Every structure is written in C-alpha cells, then in structure tokens.
A and B are shown apart, each in its own frame.
Chain A
Amino acid sequence: MVEADVTQSDLDPDQKAVLDSVIEELIDEVSLGLCFEIHRSCKVGSLFLSGFDDTASDTEYAIIDRPGVDVLGQVPSKKSYECVCPNCQRHLAASRFAPHLEKCMGMGRNSSRIASRRIANNQKHGSEESGQEDENDNDWNYAPESKRVRKMKKEKSTNSPRNRRLAKLRNGGSSHDAAAVTGDSAESLEAAPNYEKMTLEERKALLLTSCGVISEHTKRMCTRTGRCVQHSDEQRRQVRQLLLRQSRAHDLEDIHIDIDTFDDAESQSLRESLQWDVSSNSSPADSTSTNNSLSGMPLPPSTTASGHSSNPSSLGAPTTHKRSSAKSSNSNSKAGSKPKKHKTNAGKHSVSSSSSSASSSNKDQHSSNLYDFS
C-alpha cells in the first residue's frame, strides 16, 4: 500500500519530504565518513597539522618580482653553462651542445649528404652490392634471424649515415632540411624521389620502424613510429603495399596463409588483396618512374573499407586489440573481433602482409638493441 503511494505521485509533497530526509541521511553519512577518517589519522598518528614551514619557503624560495630579472632572479643574458658530452666525455658550452652532439653522434648534415650520395651510388650499381650492405644495416629490425642482431650492434654503433638519411624523410614542421639534403629546390618533388631511390631493404627497414604514410601534400613520409596516431592502420597498410610491391612479386609463392582461421569477411578481403597483388605485378606503375609514383597507383578497393570493417591485416600493432574489444561491445559489424589475428600474419612476409605481431616484436628488439650499444 505504501509502495503505491510512493510511486504514483511524483509531486507528492509528503514524498518529497521523505526523500529529502533520505538524502539528508546520506549526506550525514558521508560527513560521518570524513569524521572517521580524520579521527583515525589522529589516532594512528598520520595527521600532520603544521608540517609546512612556510616562513622558510617565503624567504628561501620566494619569487622575485624585480625588473630586469625573471621570477628566479635570472638575467636575460645567457651565462655560459658547461656540460659534459655523454657521448665523448668532452666539456663544452651548453649552448653548443646540440650542434656538437649531432657531429659527435655522426648525424650531421654533412654526413647526410655523404649518405645521400652513397644511396645514389647503390642505386646505380645494382642491387647485389647494396643488398649485402643493407642486410648488415637493416636486417636487425626486419629479419627474424637473431644472429644478425649481434652483427648489427657493431654496425649500428658506427651509426650508419644511411639511417640518418632515411630519417631525414620527415614530415616535420621545418621544411628546409629536406630541401637542403636533396639539393632540390622544387619542393613538390623534393621528397618523392627519396623513397623511390631506396632499395627494397631500406624501405622495409624504414617501414618497420616508422609509420611511413606519405602525406598527400608534402609527399613526405611520416617518420613517427608504427604506432603513430596521426595515421590510420589502413593508411599504413596502403603505403606498405605501395612501396613493397616488388617484394611481393618475388615472394608471393612463399606466402603461407591458413585460410581456415578466417571467417568469411576476413578471408574475402584477404583474397581480394591477394588478387590485387598478383595483378599488380604487371602494373605499369613501378618504382622506376621518377615522377610522383603515388598517382595512378591502383589500390585494392577493399582497402578503403577495411579500415572500418574487417581487415585481417592491420599493421598498427597497438590498435588492433583495442579496436576489437570495442567492436564487440558497440558495433554491429561483427567481423573484426578476431583473437586469431596474429596467425594470419605468420611467415616472413610480415612487412608486406603487414603483420602486427611481427613488426611490434621487432620494434621491441630495436629499442633493446639501442640500449646495448648506445
């Protein structure tokens, strides 16, 4: 009978009074909780009432409000501070540390020029010679064989200028550096030839450590990590397909995919991309073109869709997991929440089939290597 009273009338003043008292009770209870808390800290001795020595901080750490100096009393003119280079242990003025370190670590602009010349030479002299070198240089973050990792340590400590060169393809806010490196003032072309000139190995290495998505405006590659949040996995996948097609052409027969692990949607889009791979072998657009290679590149229609629906090969390692968990909760497209994802990418063609597991573990290897020899 009471229950009926309670629910029938929303505007019942009696009910309002009762509810108010319930709320008051709740408030009192929260107050009581605070009282217990304070009382407890008194009893166990963790309450400090006057711990702060404000008088000391007033004088010793007082902010300075005087013209001509900053709040810490520093004058605008730069005093000379010294630091010790962690690389060569030399003492030097702090204000010249960055330019020093650049040279000291062997990544100055001069070394970039040397590197670009070297890359150009490699390009001309065919792939055998460069392939050899590249293996030493770059396989550590590409090939799963671990014996090369050790080799890399030696190589890496000399800091191959080529790596620096690759890193130069940045998409950064400062534009002048890339122009300076290529010596090409035609800005629309300045970056495009760079990844064109690269050997496949170099491209792989680059794409394993960086996002690689090519900006439509600057035609430069994004050099953030593969976890870069500015670009989607889909974009990364596309750029990999674009730049690594050569490898697919050679190695297609080695691709081993366990179709059984897919559901329909996944296998379908995979098949589509495989079909495309085959057909793209005869594609006229090839890396020999000196122009902007990006226009006129056929990409599989499935790629646009896959970013949003169900693509088995999403490269960006960090996204896949979150994505699938989110999907299962709020999406009506049921494909995508696949725990088996990693399986699809097994095999050494992780680059072109854009494996999340392989690339991420390689990345880890990468950073631990840096630890060892730096």
Chain B
Amino acid sequence: MSSTGCQHLQAYKAAGGKETFRIIYSYFVACSSADARHKKAQICKCVVCGDYRPRLHACLSCIYFGCYDKKHIHQHAEENKHHLAIDVSYGIIYCFVCGDYVYDSELEELARAQCHRASASLGLKQKFFPWEPSEEELILLRCNPKRRRVTEASHIGLRGLINLGNTCFMNCILQSLAHTPILRDYFMADQHACQATDESQQCLVCEMARLYQEFYSGSRTPYIPYRLLHLVWTNARHLAGYEQQDAHEFLIAALDVLHRHCKEMNGISDSNPHHCNCIIDRIFTGGLQSDVTCKRCNNVSTTIDPIWDISLDLGPGSIHSSHLLPSATAAASTAQTPSTGNTGANNGSSGNSSSAPSSLPFASADITTHSPSTSFTNSPGNYEPTSLVECLKRFTKTEHLGNSAKIKCSKCHSYQESTKQLTMKKLPIVACFHLKRFEHSTGYHKKISTFVSFPEELDMTPFMSSARCSNGFNGQVLRSRIPTLTCDNKYSLFAVVNHYGTIESGHYTCYIRSLKEQWYRCEDHLIKRATAGEVLNSEGYLLFYHKQVLEYD
C-alpha cells in the first residue's frame, strides 16, 4: 500500500530531504550504533525546557529539538517556517501546515530498514510489522465487506467428517489439526505455495489447505476426507490398510508426510536437511535436552533432540529407577547383555514400565529397572501419576543409570555410572502430549484407563532446561522458585483426543476448542456442544496445547 504524505512532505523530499530524514532517523530515532546512542542521549532534549521530554520532535530542516506537549516545536516551526518535524520516539512526521501527522511509504521503507539495524545492534528481536493489505487487496476488501467470523453463535470452522470405515482415528487428528490456531492461520492465509502445480492433486499439503477451506466455508454437511486418506496411504505405506489404527501413530506419520512435502516444496537442499523451516517443524518441533552426568567427575554431557510430541508413561514402574542402589543390578546385568539400549535387557521383567507402542528415550534408558531382582529398593512404591503435571515431573526427573548401564564419560575417559535427566530445551508452539494408555508388555497387552487430569492452562516453566538444577541429583529443587510472571511458557488446551473401548477395538472421538471457553465434541460426522468440565474429566489420550504467547522471529 502506498501513501505519499502531503504536498509539503513531497516538496521536502524533492529538495533532497530523504537523506536528512535518514540521518536524523538513524541518529535520533532508531540508533544502530553506540556512537549514535551516545549522541542521542546527549542531544535529545527540548531546547526550551532543557530536558528530555515525551513527544520530543526534531525539526526536519535544522534538527532543532522541541517538545510537542508545551508547543515548543510549534513555536520553532512558526518562527522559522520549518513546516516539518519528526517525532523522536516513533519517527512519524508532523506537518505544521496540514496540522497532522503524515505518512510516506518511501520514507517508511527507509525507516524500517534502520529499525532492523537498530534492533540487531541491541540484540533485540526484530520489530514486528503487522500485515498490511496491498493496494489490490484493499480494493478487494472494500468490495467484499462481508466477513465470515468465528463467533459464539456461528458454526463457522466446525464441520463433521465422514467415517470412511474405521477411520475415526484419522478424523480425530484432522479435527485437532483443523483447530490448531496457528496451523489454521497458515493455511487460511494461503501460505502454502505448491511447487507441484500440475500435481497438486497429489500434494498432501494442498489437500490440507483444502480441508481448512472446507471447514470455514460455512457448509453444514459433513466433509468426506477420502482424498486425504488416499494421499496419506500413498505417502505413509505403513499406515495403509483397512484396520483400526492408533491415532498417535497417525498423527506422527501425518506430520512426517506433511513435513517431507513442505521440505520438497521449499527446495531445501539435501546437504542440510536438519534446518527445516517448514510449517510443521516451526509449529510442532520442540527440543528435548538430555543431560547425562557422570557420577564420578560430575561432567555433564548434553544432547538435544528434536521432538514432535511428548509421550508420557502412565503405569507404575519407571520411577524405581531413580532410587536404585547401584550395586543391586550387578547380578542381573552379568546375566544379560552388557549394554543394550532398550533392545534386550528385560526379558524377565514383570509388567513394569508401561512402554506403549512408542517407547521414549526416557523409557528406553531405564534399563536397570527391568530386572525383578532390583525392584526391592526403597522406591516410593507403585506410583501412578494421576495428572499431566505428575507425568511431566516423572518425565523430567533425574534417574540413575545403574551399574549395568555404565556410560563412557568423555572427561574421565572410562565407563562410569551416571544420572540422566530430560528437560525441555525448546518449547514447541503446539505441544502434543501422548498419554501412553496402550501397554504392551511381555505376554499381555492392555489399555490403561486410569483417569489422568490435565489443566486447561499449563505452565511448562518447571520442565524447562533452564529450570534444571546444576548438580543434577535433584532436578526439582529450583523449580518452585521460578518466577511465573511471564506467559512465555504458558499453554492453553485446545484439543483432546479420547479413546473408548479396549486395546483391540474401540472408538476415537475428540474435543476441540473454537473460542475461549467454547468446546465441541467431534464424533465423525457429528459435532456437539461440550463444556470445559466435560473435556477436563474425559479420559484423554492425546492432549494438544497451544502456546499462549508467540514471538515473531
């Protein structure tokens, strides 16, 4: 959108004022060097008041500083016929002839470039400039004054999904994704520019974009996601097949397919596939930090792995590991493999550690616990977490890797016992928690139907790497003292996937949030009103949280 200020500003620009503007801007409005800041601190004072005043202006003709409040800049303008002055705090130009502030696109562009330099010089995040409609878009907006809006009374954004034959697992994930605010905004803003134009029928990302269009079209009839199913199956063959599937597995596979597509679309080179900037990675990827501390020299080795979701153990068991006496495992370990990761080690294990379909790095590491001979230790008993926060506490608790899992310390250069702790290094914008309700243990499979409470608002600060206690032996000491003034690590619940039935057969439904306090229950093609209380009392399987505050980068 272009704006050309007033005729007086145009005349000023024509007389070569652009350069003056740029200099004044870079010295007194947005300083990009220590020298400029120093000058600003010395000089930016109202000539009359002799003091720094709010709404200080600089004359664009002679760099006279005068305040606006006491009309000292007005005085100067009138006396000298210098009609233009610039506001020192925001760099907006005032025209004394027109009696108002004026805007000029060309100067604004100069100003923005300088603002970027200024933020960079202070190590601040780049200033965010909100989206502005272009000339063309403005015309379109004016011609089409009708806007569809998600309100309490409207069903915009809600749509049922036809079950294509045991595809409720997919419908739940699609509903959750469709109501993921930032993902929706991405697709509704038409941000996916498909490179494969002739093959867009084959692009899953395009198909997702269509899904959002369909959801917000205002149509009342259920949507048939058959093309989506076809594309997911062709792209993730291990999911294909007419059978009941795990919603979590589907979610991860769907994210992976989307991620792979986006990566291709963005033409990210194979040489550096890790720095993916695709929408999926930007939204879902968090960083899980693992700190392994050598018990002998306290050397900490840290690794950070990208994660798309956090899988949490439910049953009793894993907690033993943190209380193991190191010697207790010796007998067991000799009978078994020296070091096994999670692949062996626990043939004789009783039903501890509810390692569900997907065993986490966490679950995999507590190999010392799996031998029955070690479970006598003074553990707090069969501790079963009953809330999401408890699950997360357990997830981020320091555990002692026992004698059988000695790790080579890079400092001692020998194999030592160590402790391990997982924390969140980087939080994703959308945090997906997977409660491992499906237990696969030797000899039996069962579903854990324990009620696990989860909050509507979740603060992840205690589980951050920054909250980690440096000695590594009691990671929870510092947690209570973290100030929670900021919303930085706070999340809001926006979708919950529930599973009903047994491990063999069951049904998935989900709850989604459209507006604050406004919940709906989606069961295939039916959408019904729900209350927050109902949601929070449900047997959650997948919990989707959205960051409350987003930072632009």
Contacts and interface: CB of A to CB of B under 8 A. Distances in A.
Interface of A: 25, 28-29, 32-33, 36, 39-40, 43-46, 48, 51-54, 56-58, 60-65, 70-74, 76, 78, 81, 83, 85-87, 94-99, 101-102, 105, 107-109, 163-164, 167, 170-177, 187-188, 210, 213-218, 222-225, 227-235, 238-239, 242, 265, 269, 292, 294-310, 316-323, 326-327, 330-333, 335-336, 357, 360-361, 363-364, 367-368, 370-371, 374
Nearest to B237: A167
Contacts of B237: 107, 163-164, 167
Contact of B138 (A46, A176, A363): A46
Contact of A235 (B160, B241, B343): B343
A224 B256 contact: yes
Interface in B344-374: 344-347, 353, 355-361, 364, 370
Interface in B230-244: 230, 233-235, 237-238, 240-244
A174 B245 CA distance: 6
A110 to B, nearest CB: 11
Contacts of A319: 274, 305-306
Given A217-B440, A229-B305, A95 B145 contact: no
B253 A74 contact: no
Given A163-B237, A326-B289, A333 B270 contact: no
Interface stretch (B23-31, B216-224, B375-383, B481-489): B216-224
B165 A97 contact: yes
Given A36-B87, A70-B526, A71-B155, 13 more contacts: A25-B54, A39-B101, A44-B3, A94-B226, A107-B240, A167-B237, A213-B359, A215-B359, A217-B355, A295-B344, A309-B409, A327-B304, A367-B264
Nearest to B338: A301
Contact of A299 (B248, B271, B337): B337
25 contacts: A28-B54, A29-B89, A48-B141, A52-B149, A62-B154, A62-B155, A70-B526, A72-B221, A74-B220, A78-B163, A97-B229, A98-B165, A107-B241, A109-B241, A170-B249, A172-B357, A173-B246, A210-B238, A217-B346, A228-B252, A235-B343, A309-B410, A323-B305, A368-B264, A374-B202
Interface string B287-298: 101101000000
A99 B153 CA distance: 38
Given A62-B153, A323-B305, A94 B224 contact: yes
B273 A318 contact: yes
A231 B359 contact: yes
A160 to B, nearest CB: 10
B511 interface: no
A341 to B, nearest CB: 11
A173 B301 contact: no
Contacts of B399: none
B441 interface: yes
A299 B339 contact: yes
A46 B526 contact: no
Contact of B238 (A33, A170, A217, A357): A170
A45 B449 CA distance: 57
A322 B167 contact: no
Contacts of A187: 443-445
Nearest to B355: A217
B408 A309 contact: yes
A33 B127 CA distance: 13
A63 B154 contact: yes
A332 B410 CA distance: 9
Given A76-B526, A97-B164, A238 B343 contact: yes
B292 A308 contact: yes
B440 A218 contact: yes
Interface in B31-87: 54-55, 87
B408 to A, nearest CB: 3
A81 B160 CA distance: 13
Interface stretch (B12-20, B117-125, B307-315, B531-539): B307-315
Contacts of B302: 308, 326-327, 330-331, 333
B132 interface: yes
Contacts of B246: 172-174
B226 A335 contact: no
B451 interface: no
Contacts of A269: 408
A305 B133 contact: no
A333 B301 CA distance: 6
A332 B156 contact: no
B156 A57 contact: yes
B443 A229 contact: no
Residue among B148, B249, B311 facing the most chain A CB atoms (10 A cut-off): B249
Contact of B151 (A45, A54, A83, A370): A54
B277 interface: no
Interface in B257-273: 260-261, 263-264, 270-273
B147 A52 contact: yes
B455 to A, nearest CB: 24
A298 B234 CA distance: 38
Nearest to A48: B141
By Cβ-Cβ distance, the 6 closest A-B pairs, closest first, are A173-B246, A321-B274, A305-B408, A98-B165, A167-B238, A230-B358
B8 interface: no
Contacts of B361: 230-232, 235
B336 interface: yes
Contact of A318 (B289, B306, B527): B306
Contact of B148 (A57, A85, A231): A57
A98 B90 contact: no
B89 A303 contact: no
B267 to A, nearest CB: 11
Nearest to A334: B410
A371 B343 contact: no
B551 interface: no
Contact of B154 (A61, A101, A298): A61
B182 interface: no
A98 B163 CA distance: 9
Contact of B309 (A109, A229, A296): A229
B304 A317 contact: no
B51 to A, nearest CB: 12
A70 B420 CA distance: 50
B541 to A, nearest CB: 9
A97 B271 CA distance: 40
Interface string B519-548: 010000111110000000000000000000
B476 interface: no
B281 to A, nearest CB: 9
A146 to B, nearest CB: 14
B166 interface: yes
A229 B525 contact: no
Contact of A295 (B89, B337, B360): B337
Contact of A32 (B89, B201, B292, B340): B89
A300 B340 CA distance: 9
Contact of A33 (B90, B102, B292): B90
